[in-house]
Amino acid sequence: MRDVHIDRLVDIVGERRCLWRPHQVKAYACDGYTAEEGLPRAVVFPETTDEVSRICRYLYENDIPYLPRGAGTGLSGGATPTGGEVVISLARMNKLLAVDFDNLRAVVQPGLVNLTLTRRVAHADCYYAPDPSSQSVCTIGGNFAENAGGSHCLKYGVTTNHVVAAKVVLPDGDVIDVGAPFGDAPGYDLLGLLVGSEGTLGIATEITVRILKKPQALRTALAYFDRVADASDTVTDIIGAGIIPAAIEMMDQLAMQAVDKSNYHVGYPTDIEAVLLIEVDGLAAGVDEVMARVVDICRRHRVREVRVAQSDAERALWWSSRKMAFGAMGRISPDYIVQDGVIPRTRLTEVLQKIDEVSRRYGLRIANVFHAGDGNLHPLILYDSRVPGEAERAVRAGSEVLRACVDAGGSITGEHGVGIEKIGEMTYMFSEDEIDAQRAVKSCFDPKGIVNAGKLIPLPGRCVEVKRAREIIEENWQILNSFPDQASVQVRGAFAQEPGREASTSAQG
């Protein structure tokens, strides 16, 4: 039911940019992590920094929880409502505000699609380097929130290496500028803190990024291996030889099977265990020599065949095959969970063997598609939600995979973020003192704890129990519509559980 708070939001953005009816907001109940969902109280679509500031100020002053949302492609539930929050969608803030080709800088709004920036500067032989697999739909604001990487981050780095400044609306509506377009801003590195904070500390409304000149030349190769171990050792030795390729990607047999059934058929041999997609770039005079060294290292590790792309079309097909691999899983499984652990690349063989053990122990197939060069794994745990218990087994298997990554000296996430999905693993990776330090940072920005609450950092005494919040929303649906303030209090109460109660694991549906 419409109330005075909805009226106030309408005053700020207008009737057509404020959704509040249940059938309207249903589309915003989750992001790309579909195992959990919750209906937002309302969805608003600001178009300017001033509108974002006014929205945040009003919500904060009235103790109404809220969260920001980009394109909704995130894979950890970072933009999923958990307790009747107001969703601030940045989809209409999608402008390229300025480009300085002389200094290789661009200023964008957060809703600008990643690949659109590259296309808009391509006429000057420039591009934006971070290239997540979802770059054709994900936004730079979402990349900012998650510190997204991509296939070429091995050589060029992740989002934080390309963001130089930002205008940020703080939880209470105040607006600050962080970073510096040129040089290094003195004082604390607030920009570094905000990139990757998953929308828990503020909302970036203008982002200044580096753009790069396209390399003079590049060479792309596929290397087929009979054994995963040989492919893994090849990756280690390429980097160990002092070669830093633009990208080294790996797919295993199950992943190749899926993509070859899709529209991006390459014709991978059906009896190999792994393929490496390797790309080197640089000066025209040197790339052939570098690729020759790469091929030689592959041969020392018993590669069956190395194919070097003979045309732009062939290269594009190979990259499409890799970047569409997640979507292609639908060809071989009705459902999947994708994980995002990171390990030292020297331990690839060991951890991939552990993932295979998890697969056999849980009776679930696991496909591996990942950024091998920097050890950023993306195991895809395949399951059928129609089979009782399979979804729960998939979640438990995913948790074991992430813990294996931590045990190997790595991390539970490389670029997908923690969100609600991995919050149970935060207490495995960090001590309580370390998590307390992060809570203290959160409290400095958001002392009320109502901005994207229950994401990234576990609350004191437990991990956030998102499933209970969803149950409360369902139980109090009439209250949520008729008396949203009262419902909001009940939902937030689910996140104020007393210390000592048993912690939940990652959310599951």
Last residue of one domain, picked from the residues 303, 332, 361? 332
Q: Where are the beta strands (DSSP E) in 253-403?
A: 274-282, 303-308, 335-338, 366-371, 379-383
Phi and psi (nearest 5°) for 19?
-105, 140
pLDDT score for 461: 57
Picking from 115, 160, 104, 173, the residue whose alpha carbon sits closest to that of residue 139 is 115
The sign of the dihedral angle between the CA atoms of 468, 473, 479, 483 is: positive
Give me the pLDDT at residue 475, please.
Answer: 52
Give the three-class secondary structure for 365: coil
Q: Does some domain include residue 444?
A: no
What is the model's pLDDT at position 477?
46
pLDDT at 55: 99
First and final C-alpha spacing in the chain? 27
Query: What would the pLDDT profile of 337-380 be if each residue is shown by its tens digit?
Result: 999 999 999 999 999 999 999 999 999 999 999 999 999 999 99
Tell me, what's the pLDDT at 490?
Answer: 46
Burial of 389 (0-12, 13-18, 19+ CB in 10 A): exposed
Give Cα 126 distance to the centre of its chain.
Answer: 24
Does residue 433 form part of some domain? no
The answer to whether residue 202 is domain-embedded is: yes
User: Is residue 351 domain-resident?
Assistant: yes
**Where among 284, 317, 332 does a domain terminate?**
332
Whole-angstrom Cα distance, residue 195 to residue 296? 39
pLDDT at 494: 44
> H-type helices in 324-431, by residue range?
325-328, 348-362, 390-407, 423-429
117: left (phi over 0), alpha (psi -120 to 50) or beta: alpha
Q: Using the 3D structure, point to which of 332, 357, 380 is the last residue of a domain.
A: 332
Q: Identify the DSSP state of 109.
A: -
Residues of the chain with pLDDT under 70: 1, 461-509
- Residue span of the structural domain in which 29 resides: 1-92+452-509
The total of other beta-carbon atoms located within 10 Å of residue 215's CB is 16
Q: How many CB atoms lie within 10 A of CB 207?
A: 28
* Count of structural domains within the chain: 4
The pTM (predicted TM-score) of the whole model is 0.89
Q: Is residue 427 part of a domain?
A: no
Helices (H) and strands (E) in the chain, counts: 19, 18
Cβ pair 182, 104 in contact under 8 A: no
